[in-house]
Structure 1
Amino acid sequence: MSDTMELSKDELVTRAQAQMQARFDIPQRSVREKLAITSRVLYDGGHDSGLAGQITARGDEPGTYYTQRLGLGFDEISVSNILLVNEDLEILEGHGMPNPANRFHSWIYRVRPDVQCIVHTHPLHAAALSMLEVPLAVSHMDNCPLYDDCAFLPTWPGVPVGNEEGETIAAALGDKRAILLAHHGMLVAATSIEEACVLALQFERTARMQLLAMGAGEIKPIAPELGREAHDWILRPRRSQIGFEYYARKALARHPDLLR
């Protein structure tokens, strides 16, 4: 005899959340391991653009964060070549040089204490969409983690190596988890590395879907209350962890050197 067919959606959501919390074992991984995995996952997901783009995660000490070494592509990032820097981009741990464009990450971390990880990349479809100077359109259930959670900077402030660009991008991002930067690329500012990884992948897929839909006709909006419901259902910390582990398994199989 069924005991769930009369339950409300809210009750079923609560039940499912409890089951996800109890029935999945999530491996313990260091910040460096998660960043190396994220770099390879995003490389495989089409986020590579030569040496462009940065992935950072907040460090233990205020004003510090981890980032990849300049001169390496996302497919070359491993645990051993991730740097720890301060907000002046001085190296505290590791060898080499951080990307000077990391400066605008410092500004975001300053004004957003909730942000633990930032992904900034120039993937093909998001970059192409940025050339049209139109915001990201979230009009499909799969893309709802970004529903009403993606800002838009309609003007290009120039290469982000100055403090002015950092202030501009941080202000345009506001309290959102993501932003499309006109004539530039995409950025995700998330509460965890796992969340940042899956949101960055979804951002690029959303941009690709938008361009395909725009070529076929007019994109129809979804009901705001349903978009927000899907956003809150999908964008749960446990779901981000479960999704990240799926991509991690694929990355570790393809790139066994990433943990070295």
Structure 2
Amino acid sequence: MGNLRSKEYFQQRAAEDMERHLHSKQRTLKETLAQACRVIALHEGEAGLAGQISARSERGKGYYWTLKFGLGFDEATPEDFIEVDQDLNCISGEGMANPATRFHLWVYEARPDVNSIVHTHSPSVSALAAAKTPLVVCQMDMTPFYDNCAFLPEWPGLPIADHEGVIISEALGPKKAIILVNHGQLTVGVSVEEATYLSVYLERAACLQIKASGLGTLVPVPGELAKDARNYLLKERVVNATFNYWGRIADRTIGKIQ
């Protein structure tokens, strides 16, 4: 077959092919948020009204869009999203925000790179949180969290006040995910698609870790290989293509957004 070509050659070729063939689906922000809710419901299961999703508003600092309180992720439609200010007053749409989304304000304040936040009490991540166990990146699909998943070892309480927002945002630091002891998970992204992608994969990673720990000692992915895989799996076109695929599954399983 001739001389072996470098990994860099194939990485560059893959990037060029993805740019040519993988295209994002055009949606409004509220349509994307609604689809994200359905994707999360499909993959993570429900936990009552504990789940939250938000996205920065174009209005500026202190404003974001979120699902109005009282609805589950599986029934979200674009019309169910409201825009709120830093005091959680509804300024667009009708309804109230989940009071526990207050800590989102602190994350947005600390992280100008973040445009969307997902918080859930997904079953496997909640099991790790209950056992006070950090994530161990020991399989390829877990590598988006290599050096990218923080751990808050003490629960600060129900996050409906400012104090909890300060603690959670400081613990998250520059990373894109965090496991909250006695609580659940939080993921952030440059887009709704990325925050959702990470949320689904964090639940999958936790499930895998729990299953694998019963078989023997967990073997972490070597650092450089984990970093390489992380960077590939977090490419925008990979993230968006995966989100679109999950959206098609949700359309077939839950039904298309009305």
Specify the alignment match of 1:121 in structure 2.
120
CA deviation string 1:8-65 (max 9, x = no partner): 1011101101110111232211111111001011101124201101010111111211
The percentage of counterpart residues that share the same residue type is: 41
Cα distance in 2 between the residues matched to 1:151 and 1:128 = 16
Other-structure match for 2:232: 233
Give the corresponding residue for 1:14. Answer: 12
Q: Residue type of the partner of 1:50?
A: G
SS in 2 for 1:218: coil
Of residues 28, 36, 39, the one that matches 1:38 is 36
Give 1:54's aligned residue: 52
Instruction: Indicate conservation of the 8 Å contact 2:250/2:256, yes or no.
Output: no
**Aligned partners of 1:153, 1:164: CA distance in 2, in Å?**
14
Preserved contact between residue 68 and residue 97 of structure 2 (Cα < 8 Å): yes
> Do structure 1's residue 194 and structure 2's residue 179 form an aligned pair?
no
Per-residue displacement from partner, 1:70-116 (whole Å, max 9, x unpaired)? 11111111111111111221111111111000000000001100001
- The CA distance in 1 between the partners of 2:118 and 2:176, in whole Å, is 11
TM-score w.r.t. length of structure 2: 0.96
Assess if the C-alpha contact under 8 Å between 1:41 and 1:248 holds in 2. yes
**Is residue 2:154 matched to residue 1:155?**
yes
Q: What SS does structure 1 have at the residue aligned with 2:150?
A: strand
RMSD: 1.3
Q: Work out whether residues 125 and 202 of structure 2, in 8 Å CA contact, stay in contact via their aligned partners in 1.
A: yes
Structure 1 distance, partners of 2:174, 2:48, is 30
- Structure 2: state its 5+ residue gaps: none
Secondary structure of 2:214's match? Answer: helix
Partner of 1:206: 205
1:253 Cα deviation from its structure 2 partner: 2.4
Q: How far apart are 1:6 and its partner, in Å?
A: 3.5
* Alignment correspondent of 1:140: 139
2:44 maps to 1:23? no
Q: Using the TM superposition, give the Cα deviation of residue 257 of structure 1 relative to its aligned residue in structure 2, in angstroms.
A: 4.9
SS state of the match for residue 126, structure 2? helix
- Contact 1:78–1:257 under 8 Å retained in 2: no
Which aligned segments of 4 or more residues in structure 1 are displaced greater than 6 angstroms? none
Deviation at 1:196, TM superposition (A): 1.2
Cα deviation for residue 214 of structure 1 reads 1.6
Tell me the amino acid that sits aligned with residue 17 of structure 1: A
Alpha-carbon distance change, 238 to 140 in structure 1, aligned in 2, over 3 angstroms? same
Q: Distance between the aligned counterparts of 1:222 and 1:143, measured in 2?
A: 9
Matched length: 257
Q: Which moved more, 1:54-63 or 1:153-162?
A: 54-63
Q: Which amino acid aligns with 2:47?
A: S
Equivalent residue number for residue 92 of structure 2: 93
Report the Cα distance in structure 2 between the residues aligned to 1:25 and 1:134, rounded to whole angstroms. Answer: 38
Alpha carbons 2:51, 2:121 under 8 Å: kept: yes
Contact 2:125 2:185 in 1 (8 A): yes
Counterpart CA distance in 2 for 1:219 and 1:26 is: 36
Normalized against structure 1, the TM-score is what? Answer: 0.95
* Partner secondary structure for residue 187 of structure 2: strand
The residue type equivalent to 2:198 in the other structure is L
Q: Contact 1:131/1:182 (CA < 8 Å) preserved in 2?
A: yes
- The superposition leaves residues 226-245 of structure 1 with CA deviations (integer Å, 9 ceiling, x where unpaired) of 11111111111111111111
Q: State the alpha-carbon separation in 2 of the partners of residues 48 and 198 from structure 1.
A: 17
Once the two structures are TM-superposed, the CA of residue 204 in structure 1 deviates from its matched residue by: 0.2
